[in-house]
Amino acid sequence: MRSLRLLKIVSVGLRFGLDQMLLDNEASARRAMVLRTAFFWRDLSAPRAERLRLALEALGPLFIKFGQMLSTRRDLLPADIADELAKLQDQVPPFPSEQAIAELERVYGKKVSEVFTSFDVEPVASASVAQVHLATLPDGREAAVKILRPNIHIVIANDIALLDTAAGLLETLWIDGKRLKPREVVAEFKKHLGDELDLMREAANCSQLRRNFADSPHLSVPEVYWDWCANSVMVMERMVGTPVSHIDALRAQGIDIPALARSGVEIFFTQVFRDGFFHADMHPGNIFVAPTGKYIALDFGIMGTLNDVDKNYLSQNFLAFFQRDYKRVAQSHIDAGWAPKDTRVDEFEAAIRAVCEPIFDKPLKDISFGKVLLRLFQTSRRFNVQIQPQLVLLQKTLLNIEGLGRQLDPELDLWKTAKPFLEKWVNEQIGWRGLLNNLKQEASTWATLVPQLPRLLHRSLHDQTATQIQAAVAASLLAEKRQQTRLLWLAVALLAGLLTIQVLVLVT
């Protein structure tokens, strides 16, 4: 099955002329000419960006997601390719409505007309793993109905298997393979993709994020209508807004675009550091803007989580970066075990400074994060820094946020926008406010525990005394057994001596 899938990837690449894109430079001109002659039958008249998009669509959901991520990186891609890949965010070809209706009737066990007052057979949005139809619930509420693509589990499983094989080869053949842990990264990706294919889990993610931002002035999250949800169907509140990438339309509505960009940064850091639960698929197709200027989050299949250790580590590092305290950054990497214990802090500090110092006090339009990431990768390789698979989703999301911010407001200073929020958060976690908050959180536990302390102390002393008695008895029995063993060997020795004397007497 893997070999067939690999052959399909190669054939699709050749059919759409992706080989010509890879060899489109002077150094490869001769090889490109040979391929062009060998595959003379191909029609490559369409623009290269369109051919790339069509190839990704033909290869399926995993490759579409890759294209979605690339579409937000306009600093890394030519404008024509970025514009074309942006269509993958909400213009993926839909599957037939008949299949969608058949799945709904299978789930509900009755006709769609008996479940919904109205149901639009034409989808309003189609993404890589599902598509969305509008409907009206029996009580009159307007809803969005999300339905998984047919056989999507099989396609995803085959692609993940190929990725795992490629990662294994990477670990074996590449000098940096083991340090980058590609198989662990693929396993992390596989886990999150598996979550995305379970719409009940996505509904739970949506509900949790809505609860986290219940009183937020910056973000709206749809309500889940649980009575109509299943593993392959999710029904939620219909949200009305404008895609965040339609900037001219937003300006026409009077939306403050720079303020919108700053709100996006605050939402991201709030999700990461306050909640440890963040939307990890924040490409423009999943984000709308309400007429009031609030963000609307959609598609909750891929969510990232961080534990308290990760959150504290990241917050300290971000804050140290913003304060240009590169020694603290270097030392925290060593203390966390991400860099070897014998790493020279001063050398590591100097290397980090060389990467980060040039990008401070610059707006996004003047920063090439692609080059920054490349230099960070070279630095991590030099100092043998271990890649942390649990943070891969966070890195991807941060790139999405940066790409979105670049589209909204190229003058946005990411560092200055994020620094006050992080300083406030760290103060709440570590300063005297943090101490008070922790005491409040633990108050109920202490209220239950304190009255039990005398009984717990008595039980501990009793258990300790019983343990000591048992240990003493065991030691006494062991000593007695050793004494019996010594006596037994003494008896054997005496018996052997007597037998020897008798033998000697008989011989003489």
Catalytic residues: 281
**Which residues make Cβ contacts (< 8 Å) with residue 218, sequence separation at least 6?**
263, 266, 267, 294, 295
Strands 142-148 and 125-126: unpaired
Using an 8 Å Cβ cutoff, are 5 and 162 in contact? yes
CA 226 – CA 494 distance, rounded (Å): 86
Which is nearest to 11 in space by CA: 59, 52, 60, 62?
Answer: 59
Angle at 485 between CA 474 and CA 472, to 5 degrees: 15
SS3 of 488, please?
Answer: helix
In angstroms, the CA 96 to CA 118 distance is 18
What is d(CA 260, CA 253) in angstroms, rounded to the nearest whole number? 13
* Angle value at C-alpha 354, between 396 and 313, nearest 5 degrees: 45
The span from the CA of 388 to the CA of 386, in Å, is: 6
Q: What is the CA radius of gyration of the chain?
A: 32
d(CA 271, CA 320): 20
- Please list, in sequence order, all residues whose beta carbon lies within 8 angstroms of the beta carbon of residue 374, skipping any fewer than 6 positions away: none
Spell out the SS3 assignment of 54-120.
HHHHHHCHHHHHHHHHHHCCCCCCCHHHHHHHHHHHCECCCCCHHHHHHHHHHHHCCCHHHHCCEEC
Neighbouring-strand partners of residue 289: 242, 295
Burial degree of 505 (CB within 10 A; 0-12, 13-18, 19+): exposed
SS3 220: strand
Q: Identify the CA nearest to 197 among candidates 165, 159, 223.
A: 159
Task: Provide the pairing of β-strand 233-237 with 219-220.
Answer: unpaired
What DSSP string describes 334-402?
HHTTSS-TT--HHHHHHHHHHHHGGGTT--GGG--HHHHHHHHHHHHHHTTPPP-GGGHHHHHHHHHHH
